Chain A
Amino acid sequence: MSKAGWIRTLLLVGAVGALELACRTGAIAPTMVTAPSKMVTTLIKTLQSDEIGMHLRHTLSAVAIAMSIAIVGGFVIGFVLNWVPFLRRAFSPFLAAYYAIPHFAFYPLLIVIFGLGPVPLIVLATLFAMVAMILATMAGLDRVPRVLLKTARIHRLSLIEEIWRVRLPAAAPHILSGLKLAVAYSFIGVIAGEFILSTSGIGHEIAFAYDNFDNPRMYALILFVLGIVTLFNMAVFAWERRMLRRRGA
């Protein structure tokens, strides 16, 4: 590990230790923050005994559906927009302003349209994640070096072969970073929606524990969500790095 890595680890361990100490000595009231050790023990108990599996399944399946639609749809739309200049000109101002809109303001509308349940969550998360994938796909295809396309023409590749063997591999780094964003945004969309208003899911359970002053359970679940999402993001990150290294980039 590098020097910065060691310092970072020490810093994080120190922060958790200080929090533990402050909670144990009563410097921070348990009505505010529970001790990290208690978060972990409560989490283990919650995972063993509860109906938490059902909530976890609901959240993860909604995330998985939203993520798949966002990634596949975003890639296809990005590809088409890149291919047809007219469509691209028409949509690009819209795409540029897209992430300025606070999407969650539309969540109440989605609930009214689709009813409370998994559908508005999936729609919200898909809308939130898809445009990142569209933008990344377009950026990637834009930056394919001209010389590669000329080489493809010299080798007389067919259009399909050119796309499959030249364009997509050359655009892969950008597409991958869009994929990474789509994963993170799907999680954020589903969990935030569950948190605001829903009947099940991990986000709902955290909000429910907060409403019932059940701090230990709330902190345990917060730790759980942050842990899962960070692990997932790190896995995608590691996968991306391995792909890039194989390409010799």
Chain B
Amino acid sequence: MSGGMLTLRAWRDPILVAISLVALWQVLHEIAGDSAVTAPAPTLAHLWEMIGQARFLPHLRETSLAFLQALAIACGGGVLIGVVLGGHKLTGEVAEPILVALYSVPKITLYPVILLLFGLGMPAKVAFGALHGIIPVVLFTMNAVRNVNRTYLRAGRAMRLTPAQTGWYVLVPATLPEIFSGLRIGFSLTLLGTMLGELFASQRGLGFLLMTAIDLHDVKTILSIAVLISIFAIAANAALLAIDKHLHRGAAPEVSGKP
């Protein structure tokens, strides 16, 4: 099959999904009326107008900054902790069930604790976002390091690689695909955590705008912001997924299935 066909096929599905979602939105609008769901075209126009407004930008910047800092902590810290837990067997065995239990608990209940520790504002949002994102990164990294094929390490020793060379030429390529999958999930969860943090007891940011819009019954603004966040999330996820597939291309096919 030619490359042109492939890209056409790759673009066809997302475009069809986007079209059908907008159609579904229009149908919902027809059923529910303007007071519950505003129509796509005016909402998107409203979104475009809002992005141009000076009073909107500080909120957008606040949320983006909180998200980026949280993401940096979740990825950096998660990979570091994951490497330690994966490299040392007993530590990993001790920590894994605790991490898994923490993963499936509603972490929102811990948000007041974080607010008390960090105070209202940016640090609490960053901490809460990072708390959501870091666990999958740790779990994926830990498994990646644990499952490095011993033969590769032995081959490295046979070729007398220095520890630094072993790390760069053996460990990094062997673990990168799995770690990247973890980072992709960490990305989504960090975004979720940051948004949750802004929806409760916040004075700035997109979440704050959402909550004030409820009081004003401003459906257009609610939908605009929700759509803006969703478009960002889906686009970023698609890009990360493409890189993820590219990285996994050379690896053995997975048996265990989706995480």
Contacts and interface: CB of A to CB of B under 8 A. Distances in A.
B117 A32 contact: yes
B222 A112 contact: yes
A113 B32 contact: yes
A105 B200 contact: no
Contacts of A187: 106
A195 B111 contact: yes
Interface of B: 13-14, 16-17, 20-21, 32, 35-37, 90, 93-94, 97-98, 101, 104-113, 115-117, 187-188, 191-192, 195-196, 199-201, 206-207, 210-211, 213-214, 217, 219, 222-223, 225-226, 229-230, 233-234, 236-238, 241, 257-258
A197 interface: yes
A112 B13 contact: no
Interface string A1-26: 01110011001100000000000000
B217 to A, nearest CB: 7
A85 interface: no
A8 B223 contact: no
5 contacts: A4-B93, A107-B199, A108-B222, A196-B199, A222-B110
Given A3-B90, A100-B234, A109-B226, A207 B200 contact: yes
Contacts of B117: 32-33
A7 B199 contact: no
A174 interface: yes
A101 interface: yes
Interface in A106-160: 106-109, 111-113, 135, 139, 143
B108 A195 contact: yes
B211 to A, nearest CB: 7
B244 to A, nearest CB: 11
B106 A210 contact: no
A112 B258 CA distance: 35
A41 B117 CA distance: 23
